[in-house]
Structure 1
Amino acid sequence: MSSIKNLFSLSFVLLFCLTCQETKIKEVPHTIIETPPKKEISISLEKYLGKDTIAIGDGSNSSTPIAKLLYTNPLTILTYTLPINNSDTLLNTIISIESPYIIMQHKYDYGDFEFFVFRRGDSVRISYQSDGRPIANILNRKALKYDLGLKDLATNQPMSEDEAYQRHYGIIGIKHLSTERQLSIHAKHNKFITNLKEYYQSLVKRIDSVYALGQMSKETHNVQKTYYTFKALSGDTILSKIKTLSYEEQDSLFQYDFSRRALDFMFNQYGYKPVKVSSGFGITDYKIVMDSVLSHKHLSTYTRDYLLYHWMTKLGQSASLDDVKIYFSKFKQAINNKGLISELESKLLIDLEALRREKETLHLVKNDRTLHSLKEFLVQNRGKIVYVDFWASWCAPCIKEMPASRQLRKDYENAPVTFIYLSIDKDYDAWNKANSQQKLVRYQNSYMIVNNDESSFLKELQLSSIPRYLIFDKEGKLINPNALPPSNSDLKKIFDDLLRL
């Protein structure tokens, strides 16, 4: 049963170029070699039409969006996310790149993916079928037949009799059923997995065939073949393959986001032991993970750089300032791609270490990286009521309050009431992205806190959970350290009473 669970949890994120026991393909001149002088790709997104929630075991819905659009630059280890368009207006995005092409991954429905390779200079429009499946069209050049989807190649995929149940609940969600029913589901599911593996193996041969006929570019062939080859493997087989990869095979494999996440999974499972806490949950000790990566003897330079960047980011978001300083020094010495040093310095505000250790002043940074303080803000807003909103990019209850907060700002835009948004994120990029998504990027009073861990003010507030709201009076005095949220209609009465004073 373990291999079945591994296959289901990993099959949607794994990718690998395996050439052994495959039909030898003759090279044909249809790869992406010539690069247009324009170093950008224009992408226009129509409204996403797929489902935006997913059923979970208790029959409720998750509010986490299913659709995800991201791309990988093969010249770097970084993956970039693009916004999904949920409006009726066309969403236009320009991607500036130095590499000849990018690999775009579009997730939709439950674990389904489409992959596209776009070259420099392309003008792309993406529309959607009713189930959310993306359809890409390149407007300024003719693409090869199978470069924008497998079309008729990917037909007759086997479906389990319990497919709908399995896709939405998984093996772990059937424990409440009778033993007889569980055994029946497992038997049907095992048969389904066998049929599915055979289907993927057959699909790989068809992908090879159209590539040999010149109907698919080399880059697209690498992506599609790698993805479906890996989907045909069980979790245990995948692990054994990863352990025996040459450096060249590692570099080929881990230019893809989904295969990188497979590597993360394997490193999580076998590269360290989580720390046990009294609550029963395991908490990752990222120092142990970093030490494991630093001491690993069988990683290529590219793969090692990715793992160091990934886990240093995780450590920087959770560890103490002293630990971050120690491990960032190790990171700088070990990393081969020195450009990633400045990338992380910016992302984790490493360059602001002195301010991050400051206790007396609550230091703030804006999306233009200018520095400010809460004290300075209160002085500048004397004569106004100040409403403080503590939030973070990862805080769902905080995000839920944002529409009500925007409306409240509008209601009091002509009154002496000022709103300030203070994020406790430790990842500048994550905050900046959420800041934009919540339409705060153009609002002048939105900041990320620099010295979360050391601020005396935050310790006095005992800011242990968010969202949290404060009210300062017109003299800059804190009069309510636990104010009502924007969605509570009584908050307006409190504002109105304060305005009369």
Structure 2
Amino acid sequence: MPLFVFILCSSIFCYAHAEQTRLTQLSTEQHSELTINKEAPDSTTLVFDKKHKRSDFFYYQDYYDEVSAPFDLNGKSTTFRFLFDKDVTLFIVRDDGTSSCTIHPGETIHIASSREYGIEKKGDRTRSNELNFISSLNRSIGTELEGFYAYKPSINQKTTQIISSATELYQKRIAYLEKYMKINTLSTAFERAIRNKLYSVYYNDVTSLYARGAKPLDQPIENFIERERSKPIDTSQVDDSALNHTQYLALKRNKAKPTLSTMFEIASKEFSGKTRDRALYSIVRLAFKDKTDSLLRLTERFQSIATDDYLKRYAQENFALTTLSEATKDYSQSELVSPDGRILTWSDFISSKKDTVVYVDFWASWCAPCIAEMPNSYKLRETFKGKKISFVYISIDDINTSWKNSLSSVGLIPYKTNNYRMRLGSKSKLKESLTISMIPRYMVIGMDGKIEINNATRPSDPATARILTILLKE
């Protein structure tokens, strides 16, 4: 699985959730408040100017359909460096709207504080035109193409209204593309990709409510899908078109909510190549999110059919790990997994920390408040350096790769021996038994292995140091 590492070159501490980056560990310099990666060869660099407002933020969606946590810009000029192996879709959210664009590995992109001044790859006018197209399109049409504020049909609309509104919007977007290309140079590859994106958004706008069972199939929607079916659905990137079409075919066959197994079989026959890989991956991912009984079988089938090595590795590492069950286990036998794949039970963990005070930090790679508190945890850890106290970080991430990749970005790589993930993530018996309903969550375990404080104060709270000092003296 490729690794993501980011560099934050400013006075704020940020977090990046990333599934699509190389297994590359950059040299790091540890500071009390943040981690700075010194070297980032071939990195993708995002440079935000100083005029961004405190409310501005950005996030991205990666090749594996995962969405990152938001990066708050805090009104500062900030440089972020990433190592991406695959394209990502970047979303910049400002008061004047959302800008989105596809970022390629290794690019350096400059982002202005206003959509009007845009996104630039210095020295490459064609690429800058491509980066600004969707933002320019959104401003011209008045409706955003993708992201939080994208157009969505209403469940109360009639099918004919949904089709008519979506068709009109699609035609306006195509017309604007033609106009934009007369003024601005675009690469052939980008033109092909953006035409496909515009069509996919159109198809999804019309079909999504029906494909997912929110509205019943009727003759107008069946006529639309059968008419559009002759057009190729190219979804080699993240896109719901093939999944929506598969759900439609399954609904039409079964006249009821289809099983994921049925959808998998339909997609494996209906599509080919990269489109089939993407559709099948989407179905396996749904099985993972729903924790269905068919997850293991579908993951194995995907491994045997798919040709996309990135998707296969990701599915194997992240989805196959959750196919076991803790339903009949006592929570003391709930399993933790270390970054190197070593597995131990909660009971084993407690035994390994005998005669030591343990301060446990329950967190997740997608949890911005958790990441914001990390520098305070590092300060607290330094305060008790050399004492019989252990600082342990346990993630509730469902996605194993998300957790492993985030260890470097949050500064936990040097502390691998005290890093674990609940093997079943949010479905772990341990999380349920310890009533961890919100994170960050902290716990203090005494030298006798018993929980002293189940819901302890945060590292930033002065009371935490006082409590730990008292326990060390007992």
Equivalent residues in 2 for 1:12-411, closer than 5 Å: 42-47=43-48, 50=52, 53=55, 66-69=57-60, 86=73, 88=77, 90-96=79-85, 105-109=89-93, 112-115=98-101, 124-131=107-114, 135-137=119-121, 143=126, 146-150=129-133, 157=140, 159=142, 199-207=172-180, 209=182, 215-228=185-198, 235-236=205-206, 244=227, 249-250=232-233, 253-257=234-238, 260-261=239-240, 288-296=259-267, 298-319=270-291, 323-335=294-306, 337=308, 340-350=311-321, 361-372=333-344, 374-395=346-367, 398-399=370-371, 401-402=373-374, 404-411=376-383
Q: Structure 2, unaligned stretches of length 5 or more?
A: 1-40, 155-164, 209-220
Distance in 1 (alpha carbons) for counterparts of 2:182 and 2:167: 23
RMSD: 5.1
The offset of 1:429, in angstroms, is 1.8
Deviation at 1:115, TM superposition (A): 3.4
Alignment counterpart, residue 492 of structure 1, candidates 450, 465, 469: 465
1:443 alignment partner, SS class: helix
* Structure 1 SS opposite 2:448: coil
Partner of 1:416: 388
* TM-score, normalised by the number of residues in structure 1: 0.60
- The answer to whether the aligner puts 1:483 opposite 2:456 as a matched pair is yes
Distance 1:453 1:234 in 2: 30
Offset of 1:309 from its aligned partner? 1.4
Contact 2:120/2:128 (8 A) holds in 1: no
Separation in structure 2 between the aligned mates of residue 461 and residue 402 of structure 1, nearest angstrom = 22
For residues 58-98 of structure 1, what are the alpha-carbon distances to aligned partners after superposition, in whole Å with 9 as ceiling and x for unaligned?
A: xxxxxxx85234565xxxx87897996957564334445xx
Deviation at 1:126, TM superposition (A): 1.0
Of 474, 488, 494, the match for 2:447? 474
Name the SS for the 1:46 alignment partner.
strand
Partner Cα separation in structure 2 for residue 350 and residue 324 of structure 1: 10
Secondary structure, counterpart of 2:48 in structure 1: coil
Equivalent residue, structure 2, for 1:189: none
Normalization by structure 2: what TM-score? 0.63
Partner residue, 1:439: 411
- In the TM superposition, residue 500 of structure 1 has moved relative to its aligned partner by 1.9
Aligned partner of 1:181 in structure 2 is none
- Is contact 1:70–1:82 with CA below 8 Å preserved after alignment? no
In structure 2, what is the equivalent of residue 27 of structure 1? none
- State the 1:201 CA deviation: 3.6
CA distance in 2, matches of 1:480, 1:80: 34
Number of residue equivalences:
397
Q: CA deviation at 1:375?
A: 4.8
TM-superposed CA distance for 1:158, in Å, is: 5.3
Could you tell me how far 1:243 is from its partner in structure 2? 5.3
Shift, 1:347, TM fit? 1.7
Amino acid at match of 2:120: A
For the pair shown, the structure with the greater C-alpha radius of gyration is 1
In 1: Cα distance, 2:281 partner to 2:351 partner: 40
